[in-house]
Structure 1
Amino acid sequence: MQIGFIGTGVMGASICKHLLNAGHTLHIFTRTKEKAAELIELGASWYGSPAEVAHQAEVVFTMVGYPQDVDQVYTGDQGLFESTSAKTFIDLTTSTPELARNLAEQGQKLGFQVIDAPVSGGDIGAQQGVLSIMIGGDEKTVESLQSLFTLFGKNIVYHGAPGAGQHTKMCNQIAIASTMIAVCESLTYGKKAGLDLNKVLESITQGAAGSWSLSNLGPKMIAEDYQPGFYIKHFVKDMGIALSEAERMGIKLPGLTRVKSLYDDLITEGFEDEGTQALIRHYKKQW
């Protein structure tokens, strides 16, 4: 297929490689062409706007930073909704349920299908092609895209109408947020108890405490490896969306509120471009 991809960051670049390796022709747009150099070397074609990509493709994926970026990519000048070729768009960005619904409605009026399909699994999941994909939108369209989703996803679940994928991603981020505090506090306790933290992980990752964060980010915390698989600034954006939705629904999430405040502090200290495992910085002051 002729496939478009807008946004080739930490995870997007790996997804693009899976699409190329499967034999698809890839048309891409990034704000800075130099950042797409590796994909261009692998055979992708770069264009100067989202609209130019959409004119070349049958299906276009988007994976950008913030809801305002998503809106601009679709509805702005030289945006995807100017497409003369692509009729199906899949947004992999973690964005707001409201925007997902609005884009689906606007797209439908123009003859397009817009699917919200945020992913989870970080840079490792993207590299290995085993992301969890949470999908909302027209069910028949989603069914027609399964062969593409399976190229980079392992756990692919359809959740319902437009926005349902984004709501599910909020559930995911809420669970991760509290888990991150638990991982940090577990390692801090082990450190103060004089234990070998790598051996601690060897024991507890295989028991009832096991989690993706513990197995994949725990070792990075110990090694003081704060390279981003998922940026702190994007995690804070996600938590903000979840808290806003929670307020709208009339529910209180004190755990999420506390975690966001800790990450807000890290941003204030200048660590917004580090990985989410850098939360351990708060606790290492006690080590």
Structure 2
Amino acid sequence: MAKVAFIGLGVMGYPMAAHLKDKGGHDVTVYNRTAEKARKWAGEHGGGHSPTPREAVVDADFVFMCVGNDDDVRSVVYGEDGIFAGMKSGATLIDNTTASAELARELGEAAYEQGFKFLDAPVSGGQAGAENGVLTVMCGGSQADFDAAKPVIECYAKMVGLMGPAGSGQLTKMMNQICIAGLVQGLSESIAFGQKAGLDIEKVVSVISKGAAGSWQMENRHKTMSAGHYDHGFAVEWMRKDLGICLAEAKRKGARLPVTALVDQFYAEVEAMGGKRWDTSSLLALLNR
């Protein structure tokens, strides 16, 4: 059993922290910007809660955070009430936020300068993956730090891999989101085509999902897409944040992402339709306007 702190109890962080406590048996203290949610979590799972990140991480062996973006990460890490102000020497900071690789490298350097360890560890699997404890976790950092943290991370994951030095986890998550953007657009066009052609989408998917066209998106989203239901899953506005990170990094690296850029524009149109919080599969709604 380890002493653990978890910073950020959104739709992902709330169940992830729960798995650390309930499945892993760790001593977990949480912090959330909305204090009532932290109190609710502690009441449900028997852990502790603190009014600041600094107080939450005192004596913790592992500090997890899962917040919104680069600015949110910096707001809970730095400053007199931040994570670094309260962490003990030798503790490990594990950032599950999907953020920039630049930030990951910055945090890694800052952590080691102050005697801490660091892993950037963005996740994939969405809210359902977090609730079921079957996320995929892509880590960046040293082998030794990864080996020590892996058994704890596995409390909420089905796959945990070390991709390289700090920043590599975030770069891997970018590749993940680039793949998803293209897959969802292709699936949306396929379903829209099939609907126009008068085909039974369920019958079609039962066949083609077993071949080369198959994907997680097809298996898990075709039914809700066909029914026009999008009030679930990974929100369009979150995907746009992630794709913005991808496109900015591609520009720095000199990589071309023409399909990703196009799909990001399509998501902007979905947002204009009122779909900011719709699932990413709502690209079909754009085609069926």
Q: Percent identity?
A: 39
Distance 2:272 2:33 in 1: 26
Contact map agreement 2:118 2:145 (CA 8 A) in 1 = no
**Hey, what does 1:119 align to over in structure 2?**
123
Contact map agreement 1:132 1:155 (CA 8 A) in 2 = yes
The 5-angstrom pairing of residues 1-287 of structure 1 reads 1-21=2-22, 22-36=24-38, 37-85=40-88, 87-285=91-289
Deviation, structure 1 residue 280: 1.8
TM-score (ref. length: structure 1): 0.94
Give per-residue Cα distances to partners, 1:69-127, cap 9 Å, x unaligned: 11111113411010143721100111000000001101111111121011111122222
Residue type at the aligned position of 1:41 = E
Give per-residue Cα distances to partners, 1:120-145, cap 9 Å, x unaligned: 11122222222111110122011001
Q: Which moved more, 1:244-253 or 1:173-182?
A: 244-253
Residue type at the aligned position of 1:35 = K
Distance 1:155 1:178 in 2: 23
Cα distance, 1:41–1:130 mapped onto 2, change above 3 Å: closer
Contact map agreement 2:58 2:88 (CA 8 A) in 1 = yes
Unaligned runs of 5+ in 2: none
Distance 1:74 1:235 in 2: 24
Q: Which moved more, 1:191-200 or 1:157-166?
A: 191-200
Q: Secondary structure at the match of 2:271?
A: helix
Contact map agreement 1:10 1:229 (CA 8 A) in 2 = no
Residue type at the aligned position of 1:27 = T
Residue type at the aligned position of 1:264 = A
Distance 1:223 1:40 in 2: 38
Contact map agreement 1:13 1:39 (CA 8 A) in 2 = no
Deviation, structure 1 residue 274: 2.2
Cα distance, 1:194–1:41 mapped onto 2, change above 3 Å: same
Distance 1:142 1:83 in 2: 22
Cα distance, 1:251–1:84 mapped onto 2, change above 3 Å: closer
Contact map agreement 2:60 2:87 (CA 8 A) in 1 = no
Residue type at the aligned position of 1:5 = F
Distance 1:115 1:221 in 2: 36
Distance 1:122 1:151 in 2: 16
Q: Which moved more, 1:176-185 or 1:15-24?
A: 15-24
Contact map agreement 1:135 1:158 (CA 8 A) in 2 = yes
Deviation, structure 1 residue 55: 1.3
Distance 1:39 1:192 in 2: 51
Distance 1:39 1:263 in 2: 36
Task: Count residues with an aligned counterpart.
Answer: 285
Distance 1:128 1:20 in 2: 14
Contact map agreement 2:79 2:85 (CA 8 A) in 1 = no
Contact map agreement 2:178 2:243 (CA 8 A) in 1 = yes
Cα distance, 1:76–1:236 mapped onto 2, change above 3 Å: farther
Cα distance, 1:183–1:77 mapped onto 2, change above 3 Å: farther
